[in-house]
Chains A and B, each alone.
Chain A
Amino acid sequence: MSHEHHDCCAHHAHHHEMVIDALQVRYRNNLALDGVSFATSCGNRVALVGPNGAGKSTLLKAIAGLVPRSAGKILWRGTAVKRWSREFAYLPQREEVDWSFPITVRGLVEMGRYPQTGMFGRFSDKDDAAVESALAALDLLDLQRRQIRELSGGQQQRAFLARALAQEAHVLLLDEPFTGLDRNASRQLSDLLERLAHEGRLVVASHHDLASAPRLFDEALLLKTRPIGFGVAAEVLSAGNLDRAFGHISDVEDRAAPQPVTSDL
């Protein structure tokens, strides 16, 4: 996606603010999220951090409009988002995708144009151009005929990002994008997210690796059903806050023990 297509705002970020206000999500009788509020703007990468079951994925899905919110509101560029916004794109967790679905990379990216074409609309030259430039921006032109299972983990992430770009989304909501990537792919994705944010998009991602969060993200929301802290990533992920979110090392099961962020990252 080229810069001129994108009217989002690396230069005057204050116009493009996202405000989450007292968001609450209930599943039957379970409170999945409560009183989540924070504000951020285009050009940022925001990490959602917290223990298993803290509601990171739920928060992403609530912002994307995939799960209904029971209270609270979301403001994007000053107006309330009703159920969903076409300027938001959601990228699912790897396990949630049916990788054997017979679809090529290009087909996947073309799916991103649905908000523009609508139910009956034909694919116009403009749509083709958007798909083409999204593929080019993520270096997928050579892979566009591949079935989505035939990609590496990093390429799969890029394919879904390309779909978001084709949709002309300004807010990218990513569920655990770094999970399962090797070092190289992880670094590439991190460069890519930095570039996308720099071009004026807002990147919000759940992230479970505490050690790398301050390096990969600008801001962080520490979450355990309720928000524990929000701000510059390195500051939010302080020892005291982490203790409040994860508890003392006691009840930690399958993830790395929470460690205070050290400066050499």
Chain B
Amino acid sequence: MSELFSNPFYQRALAAALMIGFANGFFSGFVVLRRNALSVSALSHTMLPGIAFGILLTGALTQGSAFVGALFAALMVGLGSVAIARGNRVAQGTALAVIYTSAFAAGVAILPRLDTRQELEHWLFGDIMAVGDSDLKIAFWIGAFTLVSANLLMRPLLLTLFEPNVAAAQGVPVRFMHYLQFTLLVLSLVSSLQAVGCVLSVGMLIAPAATISLLTDRTSALFWGGGTLGAVGAVGGVLLAAWLRLAPGPVIVILLGIFFLLAWLFSPKYGVFAMRRS
């Protein structure tokens, strides 16, 4: 084990897991409170055509072009589903599901044709062992931005999540808060691409706070606890993957899933067993 820690790939992977795990775990608090886990999943799948689009446009694959492409695709899918649902005939969830699967399919179809060395699999499931120094820097700045802005604006953000109408009447700029959350979400998705890929990033953005929400009633605990659990799950996943000789990305998400299952079963207050006893 000890020679693993002196391996620079391994060191970078652990650092990335720690930062991305914490930032995404923290942000998962918003996803859980907003009850829009499924639209996060839709959004993450749209990243694939977005990235393909970004590569087409800029000719190269950088975190920057990935972000622009992902943001573009997420906006198109998000706004498209709202526009279609406005007709009343199709529910927004239905519209979202149709559009995002189509967009994802387009991404799967186009990506092998693009002149990049990266494999499709890399985008779907990530490769945390291949994290470079520049990726680490970006993960750090995205994480720092998420934490700082979310903490500075925690109160208006929570008011917006709890009762958007009442918040607006209290003077909270509700629309700005929605856009801010959306931006932070896309940023978090982009930062976790490298580690776990666009499909599994959903797990890191939902599971930590979902687990904590079974264990606490305090809002701040949901965020900080989610961050801690996300970091523990990500770092633990990388270590466990080396031991089991499995790919780290899936192990991270499986580990987070197991945490959730345990909390669901054994939470002293909201667990299945606790409920049965009372």
Contact = CB atoms under 8 A, between A and B. Distances in A.
Interface string A98-142: 100111100100010011011110000000000000000000000
A104 B166 contact: no
A84 B171 contact: yes
A158 to B, nearest CB: 17
Nearest to B170: A114
A64 B168 CA distance: 10
Contact of B171 (A61, A86, A96): A86
B97 interface: no
Contact of A86 (B155, B156, B170, B213): B170
Chain B interface residue count: which class?
20 to 34
Interface residues of A, number: 27
Nearest to A173: B169
Contacts of B145: none
Interface in B198-230: 213, 216-219, 221-222
Contacts of A92: 163, 166
A115 B166 contact: no
Contacts of A65: 168-169
A34 B134 CA distance: 62
A256 interface: no
B168 A115 contact: no
A90 B166 contact: yes
B interface majority secondary structure: helix
Contact of A98 (B162, B169, B173): B162
B1 interface: no
Nearest to A67: B165
B152 A120 contact: yes
B153 interface: yes
A120 B160 CA distance: 15
Contacts of B222: 102
B216 A84 contact: no
Contacts of A104: 217-218
Contacts of B99: none
B159 A114 contact: yes
A120 B154 CA distance: 9
B175 to A, nearest CB: 13
Given A84-B169, A86-B170, A115-B171, A102 B153 contact: no
Given A86-B171, A102-B218, A114-B171, A66 B152 contact: no
B162 A66 contact: no
B169 A66 contact: yes
Contacts of A103: 158, 162, 217, 219
B170 A119 contact: no
A38 interface: no
Contacts of A97: 163
A246 interface: no
A147 B166 CA distance: 20
B106 interface: no
A40 interface: no
A256 B165 CA distance: 31
A117 B162 contact: no
Nearest to B217: A147
Contacts of A120: 152-153
A119 B156 contact: yes
B56 interface: no
Nearest to A149: B217
Given A102-B218, A147-B217, A114 B169 contact: no
B166 A107 contact: no
A111 B166 CA distance: 10
B108 interface: no
Nearest to A167: B170
Nearest to A147: B217
B180 to A, nearest CB: 11
Interface in B215-260: 216-219, 221-222
B75 interface: no
A97 B172 CA distance: 18
Of residues B167, B169, B171, B172, which shows the largest number of chain A Cβ atoms within 10 Å of its Cβ? Answer: B169
A96 B213 CA distance: 21
B33 interface: yes
B162 A111 contact: yes
A90 B218 contact: no
Contacts of B171: 84, 86, 114-115, 118
10 contacts: A90-B169, A101-B33, A102-B213, A111-B155, A111-B159, A114-B171, A119-B153, A119-B156, A146-B217, A167-B170
Given A86-B170, A119-B172, 9 more contacts: A65-B169, A97-B163, A98-B162, A103-B162, A103-B217, A111-B162, A120-B153, A147-B217, A167-B170
Interface of A: 61, 64-66, 84, 86, 88, 90, 92, 96-98, 101-104, 107, 111, 114-115, 117-120, 146-147, 167
